[in-house]
Structure 1
């Protein structure tokens, strides 16, 4: 029985570049690749704990563990192919010949693959960063070899090709600091005292617990034409994820403060229609 099993395992199924591929070599190669995948996972977890104990940032830990995992898996695949009976030198020579033809068909995949390695090594963006890509805003959940996953505010996952992160403008709100300045537009009646409006807006900003007062709030008068003055309240916050919520809180507080101070909002211009069907402001009618 044993001789038959041994003969079966060593029976040459295929010969490639002078190397015999047998059932035994296939089993051995698959086992090597499977073992390398397990070792890669264990090694990446060990490296995460090691770098975490050294105080490295989460983005650097993630990048280093990813690179280590890919390296171990790649080494396991090469060893597995060699265990199957494939001659790696002949395989590399053949792959160099086929690279030109395959490159045209897999150009985008190769570009994303290289971009993924650059992202992991250079880390212009890292896992956990709050970024804006195009019209999408969210947190980077994972950087793979082909694409990056971004989790939006609405808990939707967007798959962005790595090459797009390298070639398109990307706003990283987490670098160099997570501090973000938000701009809250405020309209007030042209009859209002601009100094009082400025004082009220700064008081509202100072009263909000999540506004960074030490970084300084600012009020700008953007427009001073009738029927309204347009102000901008510029404040700094520590967490860019909360910009919409904090801006909404400030608007609620500004509306209440304006009522307390007697500051009027812009007076809307009422429009009526003359007999000729053309719109005409009501005040022009009164003048006539």
Structure 2
């Protein structure tokens, strides 16, 4: 509009044509991308009739079929998006092949910047590669984390580790491409490496140690996202493993930032590693005259009736000890997760205490002996340890 009002009719015509062309390309690309995604969903998804028939004919499992649908849809959308970008910036009267050829014939004979073999066109291309590369890595991480990996049988911790590693690898590749575009060799970075070495020796040693420890945590996976860990007085769920530190969410919903090196150099208690089951235990001290068989049936019934207690392994009741203070009986059962232990134990204590009162059975009270001081004529009760 400004070009038209200023009298630049040719420029106004050019801008109007380019804007119309970009709008047509963008609209067509959006429709084609949506259509291609719907086609993949209809023909390959195991949730659709067409996908079910194709899977039965080819003998594919539902999980592999869903993965194939996600991968093909991602590849197709990427190709359509790249084609749309080439067409949108296509010069007038040129074909997509001419545009690609023009990129390979860019003028690189400009003057260098000082002693470095870097020309202005290389800087422009490096900036474009950096922006496009970082955006591509971000999109790739979101695609893996939200589309592809949820279709696999990997646990949430493994998925988070893979997405993080993909981000690291992608960032390294982007930096390598940018350096290659700028024609920077490793020999030109000798002074940078030397400066980093001095910095590591003086103040960056802890940062590098935490970074290496983070890579070990992501590859060896002694702890992973979602684990319930206890470390140096900090206990909670791991929410995220970053480059330098790990985020642990406490029971009060607060977050503690723990350096990664502590997971490598200190003893870590991982409650959910290996066995995801939790154990609910109750110990009762009863009077000596109590019918232990009746108490055994009461505890087994209470554990069996609770919805959180698993049938396998079955609950058990153990006669732990017989002392002068009473009978010590212990009962235990398993729940699906260690996080469910506290709630299940509280419910069972309410139930067991109520049923003991109905039967008229009291818990054993601590015994005491009375010392009589004949001279003063007073009785002093003293608790018997």
The alignment's TM-score, normalised by the length of structure 2, stands at: 0.61
Match of 1:55 in 2: 153
| CA gap 1:113/1:276 in 2 versus in 1, 3 angstroms | farther
Deviation of residue 206 (structure 1)?
0.9
Give the structure 2 partner of residue 212 of structure 1: 310
How far apart, in 2, do the equivalents of 1:169 and 1:190 lie? 43
Hey, what does 1:38 align to over in structure 2?
A: 135
Q: Secondary structure at the match of 2:240?
A: strand
Query: Residues of 1 paired with 2:327 and 2:132: CA distance?
Result: 69
Whose RCO is larger (CA < 8 A, sep 6+)? Answer: 1
Q: Is the 8 A contact 1:150 1:160 kept in 2?
A: yes
Partner of 1:247: 345
Q: Is the 8 A contact 2:278 2:339 kept in 1?
A: no
Residue pair 2:308, 2:336 contacting (<8 A) in 1 also: yes
In structure 1, what is the Cα distance between the partners aligned to 2:317 and 2:265?
36
**What CA distance in whole angstroms lies between the structure 1 residues aligned with 2:379 and 2:244?**
59
Q: CA RMSD in A?
A: 3.2
Residues 242 and 255 of structure 1: CA distance in aligned 2, closer, same or farther (over 3 Å): same
Q: Corresponding residue for 2:292? A: 194
Structure number with the higher helix fraction is 2
Deviation at 1:84, TM superposition (A): 5.4
Alignment partner for residue 171 of structure 2, among 55, 62, 73?
Answer: 73
Structure 2 counterpart SS, 1:213 = coil
How many corresponding residue pairs? 271
Deviations 1:7-59 (A, max 9, x none): xx9794xx5xx426788766654543333221111111222322322332222
Distance 1:37 1:185, change over 3 A: farther
Shift of residue 139, structure 1, vs aligned partner: 1.9
Task: Please report how far the alpha carbon of residue 248 of structure 1 lies from its aligned counterpart in structure 2 after TM superposition.
Answer: 0.6
In structure 1, distance between residues paired with 2:228 and 2:383: 49
What's the CA shift string for 1:204-224, capped at 9, x where partnerless? Answer: 111111001220222233443
> Is 2:210–2:260's contact at 8 Å kept on the other side of the alignment?
yes
Q: Is the 8 A contact 1:204 1:257 kept in 2?
A: no
What is the rounded CA distance, in whole Å, between the counterparts of 1:76 and 1:70 in structure 2? 10
Q: Does 1:128 align with 2:226?
A: yes
> Partner of 2:264: helix, strand, or coil?
helix
**Counterpart-to-counterpart distance in 2, 1:213 and 1:22:** 73
Per-residue deviation, residues 124-168 of structure 1 (Å, max 9, x unmatched): 222122333343332211111111111222211121211112222
How far residue 237 of structure 1 moved from its aligned partner, in angstroms, is 0.5
Shift of the alpha carbon at 1:99?
4.2
Which segment drifts farther, 263-272 or 153-162?
263-272
The residue number in structure 1 matching 2:74 is none
What is the CA distance between 1:86 and its match in structure 2? 4.6
Distance 1:282 1:25, change over 3 A: closer
Which residues of structure 1 form unaligned runs of 5+? 1-8, 284-288
Q: Aligned partners of 2:360, 2:306: CA distance in 1, in Å?
A: 21
Q: CA deviation at 1:116?
A: 0.9
TM-aligned CA deviation for residue 67 of structure 1:
0.7
What is the CA deviation profile of residues 155-192 of structure 1, one whole-angstrom value per residue up to 9, with x for unaligned ones? Answer: 11121211112222223333323111132232323332
1:180 to 271, 275, 278: 278
| CA offsets 1:190-239 (integer angstroms, 9 cap, x no match) | 33233332222222111111001220222233443233433322211002
Identify, as 1 or 2, the structure richer in strand.
1
Structure with higher Rg: it is 2
Partner residue, 1:161: 259
